[in-house]
Amino acid sequence: MTIVYTLVARGSVVLSEFSCTQTNASQIARQIIEKVNGGNDVNVSYSHDRYIFHVKRMDGLTVLCMADDVSGRRIPFAFLEDIHQRFVRTYGRAILSAQAYGMNDEFSRVLSQQMQYYSNDPNADRINRLKGEMNQVQNVMIQNIDKVLERGDRLEILVDKTSTMQSNTFRFRKQSRRYRNLIWWRNVKLMFAFIFLLLVLVYVVVSFACNGFTLTTCLA
């Protein structure tokens, strides 16, 4: 099975979790969510033995799963996105005040079902591919969590933060619009200058034909 453990938390308060096997994933997961709390929205992964902990933090809600290291990142992060959307859609604003494990009785069944689906159903990967490259996790780097925890060092987030990527995209679009507007105004100015020169040229030609700039002959 690809995904063996999942947790949903608000800050450090675990609201629901499910594990399909006996591991120490729960203890490690709690250390990870303590480290990623309070920062910007992130997609991040950490390695532990032959497993990878994948974490998605968005709008104060953290969704974490542990998967085999051979499963890659596309399926686990598609799973985390799915769980995040289902959890928010199901509980809404109740998430903000829920007690620890307040949604576990009901939502742990959803976690179990979706873990089975994303681990075993080939359609899960096929559907995720159809979402396009913009929805895929970009360049998530892996850090060995064992070494970090042994030293007691702070876990470093090793991926581009979602908010940073969104900011860069917005800035690029803004600069593109400014450049297009600049080109448009330059073309407008060139067109008016051309029309003005054309009118002056016509006036000069007519003046010669009418024996003077006052156009006396033509107006008589």
User: In terms of DSSP H, where are the helices of 92-161?
Assistant: 104-120, 122-130, 145-151
Spell out, as residue ranges, where the chain has pLDDT lower than 70.
1, 39, 124-173, 175-176, 179, 211-220
Q: 33 and 62 in contact (C-beta within 8 Å)?
A: yes
CB atoms within 10 A of CB 219: 7
HEC per residue, 10-34: ECCEEEEEEECCCCCHHHHHHHHHH
- Tokens 């000069």 -> residue: 204
The model's pTM is: 0.58
pLDDT at residue 99, rounded to an integer: 94
pLDDT at residue 56, rounded to an integer: 93
Taken as a whole, the chain contains a residue count of: 220
pLDDT at residue 171, rounded to an integer: 65
d(CA 109, CA 88): 16
pLDDT at residue 106, rounded to an integer: 93
d(CA 20, CA 76): 15
pLDDT at residue 60, rounded to an integer: 87
pLDDT at residue 128, rounded to an integer: 56
pLDDT at residue 157, rounded to an integer: 42
pLDDT at residue 98, rounded to an integer: 93
pLDDT digits (tens, 9 = 90+) for 208-219: 777 666 666 666
pLDDT at residue 183, rounded to an integer: 79
pLDDT at residue 143, rounded to an integer: 52
pLDDT at residue 217, rounded to an integer: 66
Q: 92 and 3 in contact (C-beta within 8 Å)?
A: no
How deeply is 8 buried, as exposed, middle or buried, from its count of CB atoms within 10 A (0-12, 13-18, 19+)?
buried
Q: 154 and 36 in contact (C-beta within 8 Å)?
A: no
pLDDT at residue 63, rounded to an integer: 95
